[in-house]
Amino acid sequence: MKSKKRVTIYDIAQRLNVTASTVSRALSNNGYVNEATKQLVLKTAAELNYKRNTLASNLRMGQTQTIGVVVPRINQNFFSNVIAGIEAITYQKGYNLIICQSDELHEKEVKCVNTLINQHVDCIVISVSADSYNYDHLQNVLDQGIRLIQFDRVAEELETLKVINDNEQASFEAICHLIGQGYKKIALLEGPQNLNIFRQRKIGYLRALEKFNILVDETIVVENAWTKELGAEATRKLLSLRTPPDAIFASTSDFSALGVLEVATAMGFKVPTQLGICGYSNEAFTEITSPSITTIDQFSVNMGTAVANLYFDELGNKDTSVTPKTISIKPELIVRASSSKKSQV
């Protein structure tokens, strides 16, 4: 029942007493074809409900008009937005998207990348998983002559096109803002330091402290606090210190910041008067918590369009090697109630 034989160009050719070559030329608008013949072919193709077999075509042409995307989690806001951004552009160009998710696992990421290579995608777009410990698989992509674009979480040592956020600057500005609001002792919830984004955010934090001659207090810098639960746990400890911090920068995510807010409220700390909070990512919910949470917008959809445009502008059909290039998108600090001590007073 299933495999009703698909219609091919040979079927059309036979019916019109021409060869497949002619049909192919008519359909692809390539080379000389008599206008009348062409119309006939088109008409017959429509009648027979012909659909081009992209597999065959791609095999012959040596390219697939397909871009493979590997992200840690498809259903994480930031990534699904980036994907949507990529899609907006690739769709216009008639490109397809194969989406893989690494689940933050290096092993799975490697498998995904290999599958994409096997699929002969024209380009692989990736944001690496949190536990990446080497980038051989990405080097491999390059070796196979496949374009590679990294975004957000990137392996800095690989010479590829990259689209990143200026995490350091954003983080720096966030801390400056907190200091400007009068907070004196600012804790940092940091993410896995093997990821560039978290390293950069920490650097921004340190740079801001330095600027204001504040000594770094390692006891209020908490590692790996990047979920709501971990953020909550860290906060419980921080606020139980003899001299607790008066602000917490959840540099990992807004979820973490939410954990901070909930625990702080539960422990009777008034936000923002007794405790300032700043998150990262501008998740939708940050606007509607009470108080609303100060955070950093990453322009995720734009990041996606930037990635796609980069491909078409820089790599597209060019056959030459490409000079590595990094596009940096400036995130925006969004000041909300959770860190507005001055305006509150």
Partner DNA sequence: TATTTTTCTGCAATCGATTGCATATTCAAA
Partner DNA sequence: TTTGAATATGCAATCGATTGCAGAAAAATA
Binding mask 44-83 for a copy of itself (x = CB under 8 A): -----x-xxxxxx-xx--x-x--------xxx-x--xx-x
Would you state the structure tokens that stand for residue 306, as one six-digit string? 């930037």
Binding-site member from 178, 258, 260, 296 for a copy of itself (CB under 8 A):
258
Beta pairing class for 276-278 and 147-151: unpaired
Please state, in angstroms and rounded to a whole number, the distance separating the CA atoms of residues 274 and 339: 10
- The answer to whether 64 contacts DNA (rule: CB under 7 A) is no
Binding range to a copy of itself, per CB under 8 A, among 29-37, 136-144, 170-178, 214-222: 136-144
CA atoms in the 13 A half-sphere facing the CB of 18 = 19
- The answer to whether 289 contacts a copy of itself (rule: CB under 8 A) is yes
Can you point out the beta strands (E) in 72-208? Answer: 96-101, 123-126, 147-151, 161-165, 186-189
Q: Which residues of 20-41 are buried (b: 16+ CB within 10 A; e: fewer)?
A: eebbbbbbeeeeebeeeebebb
Q: What is the DSSP secondary structure assignment for residue 339, as one 8-state letter?
A: G
By C-beta, is 31 or 180 nearer to DNA? 31
Binding-site member from 35, 157, 218, 319 for DNA (CB under 7 A):
35
Would you state the structure tokens that stand for residue 181, as one six-digit string? 């609001």
Binding-site member from 2, 4, 60, 242 for DNA (CB under 7 A):
60
End-to-end CA distance of the chain: 75
Which of these, 336, 247, 339, 332, lies nearest to 288 by C-alpha position? 336
Residues that bind DNA (CB under 7 A): 5-6, 8-10, 13, 17-22, 24-25, 27-28, 30-35, 37, 50, 52-53, 56-57, 59-62
Residues that bind a copy of itself (CB under 8 A): 1-4, 6, 49, 51-56, 58-59, 62, 64, 73-75, 77, 80-81, 83-84, 87, 91, 96-101, 108, 114-115, 117-120, 140, 143-145, 258, 284-285, 288-290, 301, 318-321
